[in-house]
Chains A and B, each alone.
Chain A
Amino acid sequence: MNKFLLRFVAGAAALGIITAVAVSVPGVNTAKAATDEEIVLCAIDDLSGDFSIMATPKTYGYKLAVKEINDAGGITVDGKTKTVKLVQYDGQSQVKRYQELAQKCIFDDEADVVMAAYTGAEREAARREVVRNKTIYWHNNQGEGGIADHYSFFSGPTPEQQVLPALKWMIENLGPRMIFIGADYNFCRAIGAWTRTAANLYGGEIEYEEYFPFGVSQWQATISKIQSIGPDFQVHCLVGGEQVQFYPQAQAAGMSLPTWSNVTIADGYEHKRFAAPSLANMYVTPGFIEDVPHPNSIAFTKKLRAMFPDMVYANEHAGFGYTAVKAMAAAWAKAGTTETEAVIDALESGIEVAEAPGGPWKMHGDQHHAAMHSYLFMVNEDHTLSLLTDLGYTEPTFLKEIGVDMRKEAPNRQFLPPDNPAWSSFFEGQ
């Protein structure tokens, strides 16, 4: 064996050992199986990697809610008063971690509920494991909606609370002509379908629609195309480090058309992270961020900042992480047990969280999605946010209109706008 080969093999072996050690080190808390005195809430979030910026505030929301519940004496279930034990794992912004950590939550920690994931890919990796093992699953940030599953619950806003009311406002106030650009994957494809629905419902026109692979970072051709169309506003679903290069390039090119985006500010508080004015004139529709002027929001942000003084911004994740834990606490108390079917019945009876950070929030039992307020903000030149309007308290009706009632039967699949017979004509010829 020559010297180099020897060195290479030794290096590879060392690397292997390091990797093995790194992988075997468990997440944030080492957890033992639950004692009888505790209800176990298992949370998997991206505490490191690309998405830690979005997901870290969500874990703050969980911690605050759990602390409040336990400080108030816990929850009485099965004849005993139990406290809630929060087990947290780091998904490292890697989809494959979600599947194994979900199993860890269920088998090692015997979780009563699993709350996991930011992106749709992470969500499906964790959710499939959790529901396969007949455990309650929560996803606690905005999503594309339409998932109809017996064990899955969603605390965050869906396109019904975001795309539809926001684009209605944009069409009425800015004009009907819009363009859509987005990343080429399931979430943005779904947002594209919801944008098409909104355009058809409210008299808008989509003059240009294109989906881009994640690697695209040179935007001049697209900027020129949009400028030559000159729409009244743009709809964006640009995702990832390369695609967001659009904003500095558009700013440099002097293009400052109003832009509605589903994926900016509410998750990643980009207005705090990018140099002004690259996001000026952007419109966003969170269900909660700390700029929401509702009294609940002000009280929540104050408590959260007192507990986590280093927090950069209380984003949508923080608010809906908190709301989901409060909803589960209410459901356990109402069911008087942690037995899964009884808790699902309690959740389906229409649990409300009056102190939800974005304003009143109510789980719709037939749809497993919630009614809530959403707010339309505009980003100013100096990257402060102006509240344009409260888009109101929107009930989720999408699954109901398709005929889904999960209290009777859960179809265990995802529905998208073309599945709604009343809207199918919007998608003809596509």
Chain B
Amino acid sequence: METFAAVFDVIYQLFDNIGFLILAASGLVIIFGMMGVINMAHGELMMIGAYITAFSYHAGIPAPIAIIFAGIGAGLVGMILERLVIRHFYKQLLSSLVVTWGLSLLLSQGFLIIFGPSILNVPTPFGNFPIGEQTFGIYRLVLFAVAIAMVASVWAIFTYTKFGTRARATMEDPDMANALGVNTGNIYALTFGLGCAMGGIAGGMFALTATISPFFGINYTPLAFITVVTGGSANAISGLISSALSLAGIQTGINNLVNVYIGYVAMIGAAFVILLILPKGISEYIERRKIRVRKVTNK
């Protein structure tokens, strides 16, 4: 029983860390991984999601609906930002970095002025369950499940829907897509909005287990970028999953073998080493392997 509890503890922590990375990165994987926009304000869109969730919840709306509101709200804000600001900076990596960083400062400081330094958070639902001497929160597992569901739905949207096909065509070759009758402006706005909505939902999910402040976003932006960049954009979805698995795996292992501080350093170090060996991210390597396997089997 004791060994089972210890093993379960580590697995639980692993799920928790994977869920955290995937959720934080789920919107960014569309915006950066697919569209190539460095959106430094991604954390602030999550922050907006958290605020919408908290305000809706305290106005008496059940938490799941409050989180859906968060997704819709952040998505709308995202689309407005895309039309007004972001669209002028496609294919300009450095300018989009500066502009979105400015947006991030404006949003967080603006929220600080309007709503003050912190608002009442939302209590964590579902309680906990005991294994051996320890108790574990159920909500952290729900976070993991939602993270997986979000990745699956991103994959499904881009693989099976008409919008997904058009979006992929637009990302691949905007001029050609435009010539073939795709309204690429709308596609960009919708795709960006979808990424922001994902961020809003993630922010709403975290609002149930975190304190909420105007600087909520800086918890998530750096790790979201590290996860997405490590994953690479050859295949954003498989990249996200593989990088979250490997980074969270290393973090969980070192956390338990040494301590939390070294665990954090080890995770960043791992991302560094992975990018040194595979500069285009893990998914590039996976895609290359796939092609090689296909060639071999075709012979």
Contact = CB atoms under 8 A, between A and B. Distances in A.
A184 B265 CA distance: 15
B140 A220 contact: yes
Contacts of B95: 4, 8
Nearest to B248: A218
Interface string B77-112: 000000000000000100100000000000000001
B210 A221 contact: no
Nearest to A210: B259
Contacts of B134: 224, 227-228
B209 A252 contact: yes
**Size bracket, chain B contacts:** 35 or more
Contact of A248 (B9, B12, B121, B216): B121
B153 interface: no
Nearest to B211: A244
Query: How many interface residues does chain A have, given as a range?
Result: 35 or more
Interface in A216-238: 216-218, 220-222, 224, 227-228, 230
A228 B3 CA distance: 12
A113 B107 CA distance: 38
A275 B135 contact: no
Interface string B110-145: 001000111111111011101001111111100000
Nearest to B127: A254
A381 B209 CA distance: 17
B242 interface: no
B141 to A, nearest CB: 11
B124 A251 contact: yes
A25 to B, nearest CB: 15
B135 A253 contact: yes
Contact of A245 (B127, B211, B255): B211
Interface stretch (A47-55, A336-344, A371-379): A47-55
A241 B133 contact: no
A221 B137 contact: no
6 cross-chain pairs, A with B, having the tightest CB-CB distances, nearest first:
A252-B137, A254-B128, A254-B135, A252-B124, A221-B255, A253-B137
27 contacts: A4-B95, A210-B259, A210-B260, A210-B261, A217-B210, A220-B140, A222-B260, A224-B9, A224-B13, A227-B134, A241-B216, A241-B219, A245-B209, A245-B211, A245-B219, A248-B211, A251-B123, A252-B124, A252-B137, A253-B137, A253-B140, A254-B128, A273-B118, A273-B120, A275-B121, A276-B123, A277-B123
Interface of B: 9, 12-13, 16-17, 20, 92, 95, 112, 116-124, 126-128, 130, 133-140, 209-211, 213, 215-216, 219, 252, 255-256, 259-261, 263-264
